[in-house]
Amino acid sequence: MSFADLLSSDFWKSYTGEAAEWSVVRRGFESHRWDVIADSYQDFVRSTSYGETVKRVVSILQAKGVLGPDKTVLDVASGPGTFALLMAPMVSRVTCIDISPAMIKELEAELKKRRLTNVRSICQDWFTYESEEDFDLVFCGMSPILDDLRALDLMLKRSRRYLALLYWAGPYENDLFLRLYREATGEELRWFSANAVALFNYLYGLGYLPEISFFKQTWELELPIEEEVSYLLWCLSFYKEPSPLDAQIAHRLVQEKASEKGLIKDVTRTKLAFIFLDKKAD
């Protein structure tokens, strides 16, 4: 491999292509895994520093003039509207697409509550979305579909000018989950994500001039024992289908760390990266 290879989009597509077929990645594309956490996802956003990162990303887009009364936005893998609900009051129209019916249901309930009428929701797999409509901004935040660069190609096709992505830029470090994974599989966790750096290099290899910035994250939650166990088993489900024995292991690990009030402090440390692309930049 030469330095020139690292500047080639073909190299990065090859690099991520094989891993994109790993079961851990493909499971992230399955709607039922996201249905499970749909009703609690926004609580996580509000209760951790990730919520501040969400606001910061939207503020960056606003400062760049990407969000305005004449702009249209496509939010890919929108979930319950984590970003779309903040962008909608600033733009002409937002279209949200997500594979999870439960996530879309949460989004629609929040739209009704906030009386937002300029947001359209679509429950569909991004890879089968066939609309020919273009958007000023195509946005995707923290979705595992970014592990498959074919998803990024489709986003570029639908973007009239701007593309914005928020994704992992380092391992997801959670001591309880790492212990559960080790005991449940007998192995150390092998982290895989296409990683925002790979996304950046792929876009650069295509001839674009993307910008990238990084955010350190520490997410702290205090959860009841059963909620923490459910969360850990949900994380494990991306690597293997949890068994009754796995559930027993998770209960033991959580109870060992629980306070007298039956609460567990869950701490996750990671890095995220925000990629912004103006397709017309020189």
Among the residue ranges 7-11, 50-54, 59-63, 245-249, the one predicted with the least confidence is 7-11
Neighbours of 130 (CB within 10 A): 5
Phi, psi of 125 (to 5 degrees): -70, 125
Q: Token pair 């068994």 is at which residue?
A: 243
Query: Residue 15 is encoded by which pair of tokens?
Result: 């690099």
- The rounded Cα 281 to chain-centroid distance in angstroms is 26
DSSP state at residue 125: -
Positive or negative: CA dihedral 29, 75, 141, 87: negative
Confidence tier at 172 by pLDDT (50, 70, 90)? confident
Q: To the nearest whole number, what is the mean pLDDT of the chain? A: 92
Between strands 135-141 and 72-76, the pairing is parallel
Confidence (pLDDT) at 69: 97
Average pLDDT on 138-156 reads 94
Angle between helices 244-257 and 175-185 (to 10 degrees): 150
Extract long-range pairs of 6-10: CB within 8 Å, 24+ residues apart.
Answer: 6/201, 7/201, 7/204, 7/205, 8/205, 9/202, 9/205, 9/206, 10/205
DSSP state at residue 174: -
Domains of the chain: 3-172+192-218+270-278 (3.40.50.150)
Average pLDDT on 126-137 reads 94
Confidence (pLDDT) at 223: 94
- Spell out where the chain has E strands: 72-76, 93-98, 119-123, 135-141, 159-168, 211-224, 263-278
Q: CA torsion angle for 57, 166, 53, 81 (degrees, to 10)? A: 80
Average pLDDT on 156-185 reads 95
Helices (H) and strands (E) in the chain, counts: 13, 7
- Tell me the DSSP string of 16-70: HHHHTTSHHHHHTT-HHHHHTTTTTHHHHHHHSTHHHHHHHHHHHHHHTT-SSTT
Between strands 93-98 and 119-123, the pairing is parallel
